[in-house]
Copies of this chain bind each other. A is one copy, B any other.
């Protein structure tokens, strides 16, 4: 059961080319995305209303798409505008459309009630295309439920254990408890580790003669969006008090989008604002992150296999689980709310009996 009334990241903008047909399954629904002749995004259910064939193996015709099974043609609004040997097209011959918004390199999609799709709710990821920041586009696919990945991102104490040679650094990093603040739709995590070693990925792009003060400050909000201010500065420079002189800074943008109940799309980038004229620095940072996220995927996939053998397994909660417990509670509450709204809507047409 997925949250529907929320913005999911559906794709990097360049994945949907000017004349192609791009298909991706989002919360169990196959979605066809393409651009009309003006470059505007169209998102249709990727399933012909006639016999269920995917439209994405169909053919672009102007701003329309034709199903290449029996030849039905759909306009960008989802209406069937042509059907072979059919004089009158029945009005129910249409496919669902989805609100989509392209913003700062990401394509956001709303899978719920289109009336509620307010673009103002889209999180700000300005660093993905800001001239002062540089990053490369990241995407990996997981064969696990998205909440296991959210758990991972909500507890960075795993860094020195899962990522000792990439993002991790020394194990003292894990001994610090982060500050966790509840947000309306998620949590805010503030983690400062003082006098610690610079992690390997940072040592590859800068010399660090001594220890550093390191921070990871991020919001993790519905449906699974991580926006992070992170970095490190020479220890004792006063970074925690606001002095970022000599620091390197990042604005990590990450998004989990469930594909199905057992698979997940993971979009990410790790913008930096130093050495932005040196592509090899951007490439090095990106490569470190990709390696680290492969490490995450290995352990999380192993965890998923282990859990699938033991459906009754009860996890023992620890203090490091504070943030993930809160986020799971936020998810559960939102799912429950949507179910209650759906139930109310289903009975809403009945006359009130006792009124």
Contact = CB atoms under 8 A, between A and B. Distances in A.
Contacts of A85: 157, 174-177, 319-320
A155 interface: yes
A220 to B, nearest CB: 17
Contact of A302 (B25, B57, B318): B57
Give chain A's interface secondary structure class.
loop
A84 to B, nearest CB: 4
B309 A28 contact: yes
A310 B48 CA distance: 12
Interface in A187-211: none
Interface in A295-314: 298-299, 302-303, 305-307, 309-310, 313
Given A157-B71, A306-B30, A151 B316 contact: no
Given A68-B299, A161-B68, A316-B90, A175 B52 contact: no
A260 B310 CA distance: 12
B299 A69 contact: yes
A101 interface: no
Nearest to A67: B161
A303 B84 contact: no
Contacts of A305: 54
A160 interface: yes
A157 B70 contact: yes
A86 B309 contact: no
A303 to B, nearest CB: 4
Contacts of A68: 161-162, 299
A69 B158 contact: yes
Interface in A166-181: 171, 174-177
B86 A318 contact: yes
**8 cross-chain pairs, A with B, having the tightest CB-CB distances, nearest first:** A84-B174, A53-B303, A49-B316, A52-B307, A68-B161, A71-B161, A85-B177, A47-B306
18 contacts: A29-B309, A29-B310, A30-B309, A49-B316, A51-B303, A52-B310, A52-B313, A54-B303, A57-B299, A57-B302, A67-B161, A68-B161, A69-B162, A71-B160, A83-B318, A84-B175, A85-B319, A93-B316
Interface of A: 25, 28-30, 46-47, 49-54, 57, 66-72, 83-86, 90, 92-93, 151, 155, 157-158, 160-162, 171, 174-177, 260, 298-299, 302-303, 305-307, 309-310, 313, 315-316, 318-320
Given A25-B309, A57-B299, A85-B177, 6 more contacts: A47-B310, A52-B310, A53-B302, A54-B302, A71-B171, A84-B171
